[in-house]
Structure 1
Amino acid sequence: MQETIKVKIDDLIFDCRTDGDKENELVIFLHGWPETSYMWKKLMSHFSEKGFYCVAPNLRGYSKDACPKGKKHYSLDKLAKDILGISKFLNTQKFHLVGHDWGAIIGWKIVHDYQDRILSWTGISVPHYQAFGKAIVADTEQRKMSQYVKNFQLPYLPEEGIRKDDFKILRKLWKNSEPSEIDDYLKVFRNPKQLTASINYYRSNYTLLKKAAKDTILGDINVPTLFIWGKKDIAIGSYAVNESHQYMKNDYEFIELDSGHWLIQTKYHELENAITKHVLKYQSVT
């Protein structure tokens, strides 16, 4: 049975959706933008039935009581440390990690910086962000795809555009989502403070991503990795994906699907099968 628990880390309180027996091996699921932990509900039910304890936080800014003001509070360092704080709260040293979109970006940071904590890693849609950052600068296609990221650097205007016509822009992105899922998302994005916090992910880390074209912002990945990407993705092109493979120094599987960015909604069964196989392969011996 799924329930939401409160996880306090310093002055922040995270809303974390959970499923399964907390004595079982932990899988943490990280959502992206513009979604919430609700996106993982079906997959969490599946993994809890497989004997895992599943936890999906509403990330910093998406949890109402973990929503500090100012873009400085949304750096990748802080976003990654939040997840380590949640694992500490759960008294869990090692865990499996699954992330989509911004959840994937945060995940790459975690599995690089805290590799001894990771049993397996599944990134969805967004590749290693050294490769992604390089692509934003070096690849014409990716620059066009990421123009919205540049636009998000402006104050106020992005929020106004997103709210226009009852979140028409976001509703287009959610066309494959269930009504109950959309209702959950809107609980976050209708709150002005939380909407701005979600855009601050882009504002806080844009300079870092562009720096990747000349400098190393993230190194090799030394944990078992599964990366899944849809070749019709409107936000992530093939240049970034192909550049990403070189950083994988442990067991690595890449799956390309005939779909777009919202894979959990459009290719659920393919994701369920691939992630289950990957996680079970690296399940720790008990």
Structure 2
Amino acid sequence: MIIWSQGVRLAGDVYRPHDSIDGHKLPGILMVPGWGGNKENVGKNYASYFAEAGFVVLAFDFKGWGKSDGPLLAATKLEPTEESAEVTLKATHVRKVVSPFSMAADVRAALHYLGGEPGVMSNKLGIWGTSMGGALALVSATGDDRIKAYVTQMGPVNYSYNLKQLPAEMMRQAEAEAARGEIPPYPGPESESDPRLRGYPDWVALKQFEPLATLNRLDAPTLIIDAEDETLFDPSKNGGLLYESIKGRLPSRYVTYPGGHYEMYQGENLSASRGEALAWFVKYLN
């Protein structure tokens, strides 16, 4: 199915219990993939598992990733028109950009799609995000009262700390150069910095991304899952900080599992962490 986000078609999949009854509404869960993730992996390992437990679950690809369309960058200036008009043009189909504000808009669009899905209790939604998806899910969880349960798995929610090595003045210079057309408007291979991470990061946008800025508006019971031997960021300044900021104010739980970031997606860690997440959704959505 197609989800529209900022005028771009996103690809999505809806998962339902195999024994769902027509006309009977169920709570919904939105799955938010991580940096370079896709709906296929999230769907196979998590969405189908949650669906069989009695939820309607939506997984999707961010714009420019997987089976979703990406933005189009016209090769030349378009002729001005008074109204919208069909045009024939040569353009670049932009792919694999990691831009948190664009991705946050995709999460919001997918959440609205799920809330409008037949058979979904639109005022009883859960949101689950892994890796960068955990931070993106937090932005929606603090801004939508339909979300009644939030699960973040290895979410780097503290970008101001995680990217403290990037000087603000350097970021301003990059923005000025982009505005003047001196550097490409979308990042490409020149922005890559870590071979473990796919795609082309928009470092200026990532530096400005502050999921914790609206933490005071978080009302959803929150489950935080981290890897004990995380190497992509400091868990104590991300998931740990998130937990310390909300415990006592709202229902919350902080759980860690042995191993590194990518070991969470396999074996016993996969089984245990998704079981923990499912128990959280059952408790707060059912």
| Same topology, TM > 0.5 | yes
Name which structure has the greater RCO, CA cutoff 8 Å, separation 6+.
1
1:273 offset after TM fit, Å? Answer: 1.7
| Residues 205, 89 of structure 1: alpha-carbon distance in 2 compared, 3 angstrom cutoff | farther
Gaps of 5+ in 1: 138-142, 145-151, 163-167, 174-188, 190-194
Q: State the percentage of identical aligned residues.
A: 14
Residue equivalent to 1:247: 245
**SS at 2:261 equivalent:** coil
More helix by share: 1
Contact preservation (8 Å) 2:243, 2:253: no
Whole-Å Cα distance in 2 between the matches of residues 243 and 72 of structure 1? 24
| Residues 72, 47 of structure 1: alpha-carbon distance in 2 compared, 3 angstrom cutoff | closer
Aligned residues: 232
Cα deviation 1:7-33 (Å, max 9, x = unaligned): 234622211122214743211111011
More strand by share: 2
| Residues 121, 74 of structure 1: alpha-carbon distance in 2 compared, 3 angstrom cutoff | closer
Residue equivalent to 2:58: 55
One-letter identity of the residue aligned with 2:285 = Q
One-letter identity of the residue aligned with 1:106 = L
Whole-Å Cα distance in 2 between the matches of residues 42 and 135 of structure 1? 28
| Residues 65, 158 of structure 1: alpha-carbon distance in 2 compared, 3 angstrom cutoff | closer
Cα deviation 1:139-197 (Å, max 9, x = unaligned): xxxx59xxxxxxx99968862686xxxxx935xx7xxxxxxxxxxxxxxx7xxxxx44x
Residue equivalent to 2:129: 99
**SS at 1:18 equivalent:** strand
CA radius of gyration, larger in: 2
Off by >6 Å, runs of 4+ in structure 1? 70-73, 152-157
Residue equivalent to 1:117: 146
Residue equivalent to 1:43: 46
**SS at 1:103 equivalent:** helix
Q: Which stretch of the first structure deviates more once superposed, 224-233 or 17-26?
A: 17-26
Residue equivalent to 2:230: 233
1:225 offset after TM fit, Å? Answer: 0.5
Aligned counterpart for 2:195 among listed residues 149, 169, 183: 169
Whole-Å Cα distance in 2 between the matches of residues 28 and 106 of structure 1? 12
1:278 offset after TM fit, Å? Answer: 0.6
RMSD: 3.5
* Residue 82 in structure 1 maps to residue 109 in structure 2: yes
Aligned counterpart for 1:126 among listed residues 142, 145, 155: 155
Whole-Å Cα distance in 2 between the matches of residues 59 and 157 of structure 1? 16
**SS at 1:232 equivalent:** coil
Contact preservation (8 Å) 1:101, 1:125: yes
Whole-Å Cα distance in 1 between the matches of residues 252 and 149 of structure 2? 10
Whole-Å Cα distance in 2 between the matches of residues 135 and 56 of structure 1? 27
Q: TM-score, normalised by structure 1?
A: 0.68
1:232 offset after TM fit, Å? Answer: 1.0
